Amino acid sequence: MKTLLKIAVFSLSVLCTAETVRADRKVSKKIRVQVEADGRDYHNSIVSIPWNGSNPVTVFETTNGKQLRCISQGESTPEGSKIYWKVDGTLKNGEVREYSIEPSTQPVRVTGEMSISEDKNGNLILQRGNQDILQYNTQIKKLPKYVDPAFRRAGYIHPAWSPAGNILTNINPADHMHHYGIWNPWTSISYDNDKYDLWNLGLKQGTVRFDTVIRTSAGDLFAEIQVKHTHVIFRPGEKQTVDTQEWTMEFTPKEEIVIMQERLSMKAWNTGDKMFMWDFVSDLEPATALPVILKAYRYAGFGFRATAEWTRDNCEMLTSEGKTRHEIDGTNGRWIYVSGQCANGKSGILIMSHPANRMHPEPLRIWNEKANGGRGDAFVNFSPSKNEDWVLEPEHTYRLHYRIVTYDGDMTPERAESLWQEFANTPKVTVK
């Protein structure tokens, strides 16, 4: 894995300086681009344009005849290739800035501010400078001997950190051993006229598995981990008893069927702000010739189980619709933030739903102050199948896109709304 990561980082260090911007030809001369704030102010926004080719280019902002090099980075995906750059500072409503995309005769030095490292077990960590942002777990965590092995899985995010180093996620709490930090299984699935639950692992009806690392990217502007998950159902057989050196358990042998493939991307951005901002993009596709029906159920999909430090006494929530913690469950929202006291002061997390997501503004499932016998632990779930069935047809891909911001101190409704607006409506970009 370490060798693969080195190759990926090196490849992106070259790609960062190899962006082109026309789909039909290589860049052979300067290309002018305008970025306009159309309808609102923007702050440290990320913009992009399509590109194709391999000759190196650099992005400059042109102001009063002077050129200032921008933080930029290229990316190539099955959907196409792009070059991204950051619009520094505040772009006022109605303001237009001029940029040029210019061929480079030699590679431009890449600082690698956004990077990916591994822990001792091979799990992947997105970083900005020397700060950890999130850890994606490729390895299955060892659980106590008394815990049913059915609760073991990989393919989730934990820890997710605030800039001050506070850990905001929690995994395998005793009250809900199947909770895994930030993760996204489905609770009620109909497949081939039978029902399965891939969320509540103790039912042993199925699970979600990490499969492979598709690619990694690192550079000046972003770092990304893209992986493949398989969503697996278990069909029952004859009950047997198994003895091992560690435990004895009864279990039902199962025929395993992969019913969905998932491509999951986690991309952290170098915004330059005192916050961590990253995107969580899940692309789901049925894996057989049969449809997968995500049945209406009160929770499923993107889930966040918060640190055990947060309880009813020190944790607050607010949604885009102005709902507070005791009002939220069962309502819809474009965003929700949760803030609470941690070891290194107050921190929080803002979770935003993209307008293209199904059922946006999305139905929310949260725990109120009375959860867990009155402890009031924090749990948040965006559930696009909460109120009606979602039929996923074979040979079709279905995308869910969320943006997460972790921060220290307080979040305000105005700041949360501004961040969502920038997520949902980027500045207008025109190639001249």
Tens digits of per-residue pLDDT, 183-218? 999 999 999 999 999 999 999 999 999 999 999 999
Asked if pLDDT for residue 237 goes beyond 90, the answer is no
Convert the pLDDT of each residue in 95-115 to its tens digit.
999 999 987 766 656 678 999
**Are residues 69 and 208 both part of a single domain?**
no
Q: Count CA atoms within 13 Å of residue 142 on its CB side.
A: 3
Asked if pLDDT for residue 337 goes beyond 50, the answer is yes
Tell me whether residue 3 is in a domain. no
pLDDT grade for 253, boundaries at 50, 70 and 90:
low
Range of the domain at 134: 114-425
**Are residues 122 and 80 both part of a single domain?**
no
More confident: 27 or 53: 53
Cα gap 411→428, rounded to integer Å? 27
**Are residues 192 and 333 both part of a single domain?**
yes
Q: What is the pLDDT of residue 236?
A: 78
pLDDT grade for 20, boundaries at 50, 70 and 90:
very low
Structural domain ending residue among the three candidates 109, 129, 155: 109
**What average pLDDT score do residues 301-319 get?**
97
Pair of tokens at residue 379: 């749990």
Asked if pLDDT for residue 422 goes beyond 50, the answer is yes
**Are residues 101 and 155 both part of a single domain?**
no
Cα gap 276→131, rounded to integer Å? 10
Tell me whether residue 86 is in a domain. yes
Q: What is the pLDDT of residue 18?
A: 30
Domain count for the chain: 2
**Are residues 269 and 238 both part of a single domain?**
yes
Q: What is the pLDDT of residue 304?
A: 98
**Are residues 138 and 176 both part of a single domain?**
yes
Cα gap 223→220, rounded to integer Å? 8
Rounding to the nearest 10 degrees, give the CA dihedral for residues 19, 76, 350, 380.
180
Q: Count CA atoms within 13 Å of residue 372 on its CB side.
A: 17
Q: Across all residues in the chain, what is the average pLDDT?
A: 90
Is the Cβ–Cβ distance between 319 and 183 less than 8 Å? no
Neighbour-count burial of 358, counting CB atoms closer than 10 A to its CB (0-12 exposed, 13-18 middle, 19+ buried):
middle
Pair of tokens at residue 81: 């290739």
Q: What is the pLDDT of residue 346?
A: 98
Helix H or strand E encompassing 3: helix 2-15
pLDDT grade for 247, boundaries at 50, 70 and 90:
low
Neighbour-count burial of 199, counting CB atoms closer than 10 A to its CB (0-12 exposed, 13-18 middle, 19+ buried):
buried
Q: In what order do the strands lie in the sheet with 114-118?
A: 114-118, 124-128, 131-137, 156-160, 182-183, 302-305, 379-382, 362-366, 332-333
Q: What is the CATH number of the domain that holds 78?
A: 2.60.40.1180
The answer for residues whose C-beta is within 8 angstroms of residue 149's C-beta and 6 or more apart is: 143, 247, 249
